[in-house]
Structure 1
Amino acid sequence: MGKPILEVNNLRVSFKMYAGEVQAVRGVSFSLNKGEVLAIVGESGSGKSVTAQTIMRLIPTPPSYIKEGSSVLFDSKHEITKMSESQMEKVRGQEMGMIFQDPMTSLNPTMTVGAQISEGIRKHQKVSKSEAMQRAADLLTLVGMSNASERIHQYPHELSGGMRQRVMIALSLACQPKLLIADEPTTALDVTIQAQIIDLLRDIQQKTDTSIILITHDLGVVAEMAHKVIVMYAGKVVERGTLNDIFYNPRHPYTWGLLRSVPRLDSDKNNELDSIPGTPPDLFAPPVGCAFAARCPYAMQICKEVDPEHFELSADHSSACWLLHPDAPKVDIPVEVGGRSHG
């Protein structure tokens, strides 16, 4: 498969606050190959978006800072954690693109969508204004907008939510980036439009062979798009694996909890969806042992005292859970989680 397009090693990001240090990302590592889609899943506050925005160097410094020993190597040559803002500006947009959660806060309300897309093209490529505008129209056609030559003259408020998200995708693709980060790209959209946007992203990924990091809490979206999945909790990766590993053979109780909270058509149960009881820990003072122990029905004494390392289950699959230790009591994957079907 060649060298990974992105290698994240021991990424640790904290925020200095008046009350102390919030350890938002605590030792995250993963790699992404060309043409792959990696989904990062977890509840709000698990560190997903901070991880993504650190890769793009979009989080404000201060109050945030990347701790010593963190490494984000992009395209085998850019050490993102060490780059200046002017160096990042050359990479951001041209080689990396980002689709944000809410297009209305990310698009400029005072500029037409064509002007916004062509501005990015002209910044990174030597083309005339009319060429850039033509390319903007072509991009809007690529992302499935009809009458693109008219749409480029419209302002964001004149478009529907689904159209604005398509404009955001066109913006992020303007310079044919090698890496696209989609941060909750369907959250603000209704279900029908969500499905269209996911189909669009999958189609673009297949046509352009772009690598995608998909940040989401929606496991339905993950099942539609991802090749690999990492599950984050309290700023750490608690399980990583292929799509099939995570859906058919999940080995961390937190992953079980996430899968249980998704509606299933093949279930006989008519009762309410399961939710994970309790709340995530305070990252001002993370727990000494496993961060999930306080909410885990299988927690043992060691879970509260020692943070588990990752237990390797296969070349692609690992989980940070003491239940996988040879001396731990045997716990079967809950029946309603293992063997789940997905599209």
Structure 2
Amino acid sequence: MAKPILEVNDLRVSFKMYAGEVQAVRGVSFTLNKGEVLAIVGESGCGKSVTAQTIMRLNPTPPSIIKEGSSILFDGKHEITKLTNSQMEHVRGEEMGMIFQDPMTSLNPTMTIGAQISEGIRKHQKVKKVEALLRASDLLALVGISNPHERLHQYPHELSGGMRQRVMIAIALACNPKLLIADEPTTALDVTIQAQIIDLLRDIQKKTETSIIIITHDLGVVAEIAQRVLVMYAGRVVEQGYLDEIFYNPQHPYTWGLLRSVPRLDSDTKSALVSIPGTPPDLFAPPKGCAFAARCPYAMKVCTEIDPGHFRVSDTHSSACWLLHEDAPNVERPIEAGGRTHG
């Protein structure tokens, strides 16, 4: 069996603030295999973007701190948490690429598209400017931009939102990375362009066998592209498994809530969308038990006192919920197989 391209173990990341320490990521563990697409989902503030940026070592230190005992092993040889900034510069861009949320704020408005794509190629592959620009033109063609030779000389403001996002993908792919992290790559785009970007990522993944982590709160995007899913809440993974396991056999009340909040077009019944009541906990002082207990209609006394840990549903599926304990009462979950809601 092939070794995973990425192994994250007990990752804990905090931010030192004047008011105290924000525990943004609290013991996240997962693996990513070669050529696999993993989605990390959850509402805003759950720690998914901090997790992704920590893998790339993009969080400024200070105020961010990677806690002792955290491990991010990349390609079986790079312990990301131990690399110096100089060593990390060789990994970032060359072996890992990242697509950011908002291309308009990520692209440099004073540089041409060609200069921004070729910059990483020249740095990591030590080629001349002309050769780097030819490679940049090929990348623009790969991501579906017409007239790539002309686009090389344009500036970000001259392109549409969808084209700017394609440029961001081209920059991330410039050095043929083994790992591509896409942080909410479709958030600022309209539905039609979103579908095109997802199709593009799927096509690139098949052609290059690049492993992809996609960060999103959109379960529709997850269903289109992911093979495995991590559900995060309050800095922790509360459920993980293959796509079908999460969508057709969800086990955590938070996952049920996420699925119930998504509109469905394949159901004859007209059921209202259900929001999750309450707000996430303050990560200055996280609760000692299950972080979701205060918002969970099935919470028991043990939920507020003891962290449940992960219960194994199958060899590939686990959930951090006391309802899976053998002594827990049986509850009728409000969501059927396939994500259909009751009522």
Distance in 1, Cα, partners of 2:77 & 2:103: 31
Alignment gaps of 5+ in structure 1: none
TM normalised by structure 2 equals: 0.98
CA contact (8 A) 2:137 2:148 kept: yes
8 Å contact from structure 2 (residues 260, 339) kept in 1: no
Report the Cα offset of residue 272 of structure 1. Answer: 3.3
- 1:273 is displaced (CA, Å) by 1.2
The one-letter code sitting in structure 1 at the alignment partner of 2:295 is R
The AA in structure 2 aligned to 1:302 is V
Q: Deviations over 1:111-166 (max 9, x none)?
A: 00001101110000121111100110000000000000100100000000000000
Match of 1:227 in 2: 227
**What is the DSSP-based 3-state SS (H/G/I as helix, E as strand, rest coil) of the residue aligned with 2:339?**
coil
Distance 1:99 1:316 in 2: 28
Aligned partners of 1:275 and 1:322: how far apart in 2?
A: 22
- Measured in 2, the distance between the counterparts of 1:268 and 1:237 equals 33
Distance across 2 between alignment mates of 1:338 and 1:252: 14
SS of equivalent to 2:259 = helix
SS at match of 1:131: helix
Please list the CA deviations of residues 277-304 of structure 1 after superposition, one character each: whole Å capped at 9, or x if unmatched.
Answer: 0000000000011000000010011001
For 1:249, the equivalent position in structure 2 comes to 249
User: Which residue does 1:200 correspond to in 2?
Assistant: 200
Name the SS for the 2:120 alignment partner.
helix
Per-residue displacement from partner, 1:208-255 (whole Å, max 9, x unpaired)? Answer: 000000000000000000010000000000000000000000000000
Aligned to 1:105: 105
- Aligned-partner SS, 1:29: strand
Q: C-alpha distance in 2, partners of 1:340/1:19?
A: 41
The alpha carbon displacement at 1:338 in A equals 2.2
Partner Cα separation in structure 1 for residue 41 and residue 338 of structure 2: 19
Deviation at 1:329, TM superposition (A): 0.3
Aligned residue in 2 for 1:162: 162
Paired residues for 1:1-343 under 5 Å: 1-334=1-334, 336-340=335-339
Partner of 1:339, secondary structure, is helix
Q: In 1, Cα distance between the equivalents of 2:333 and 2:251?
A: 7
* Ranges of 4+ aligned residues in structure 1 off by more than 4 Å: none
Distance 1:133 1:11 in 2: 39
Alpha-carbon separation, structure 1, partners of 2:17 and 2:106? 26
Cα distance, 1:333 vs structure 2: 3.0
Q: Which runs of 5+ in 2 are unaligned?
A: none
Tell me the secondary structure at the aligned position of residue 119 of structure 1: helix
| RMSD over equivalenced CA pairs, Å | 0.9
Distance of 1:274 and 1:332 partners within structure 2: 16
| Distance of 1:289 and 1:187 partners within structure 2 | 33
Contact 2:8 2:73 in 1 (8 A): yes
Q: Secondary structure at the match of 1:202?
A: helix
- AA of the residue aligned to 2:181: I
Q: Compute the TM-score of the two structures, normalised by the length of structure 1.
A: 0.98
How far does residue 337 in structure 1 lie from its aligned partner after superposition?
4.1
Task: Please give the alpha-carbon distance, in whole angstroms, between the structure 1 residues aligned to 2:46 and 2:269.
Answer: 29
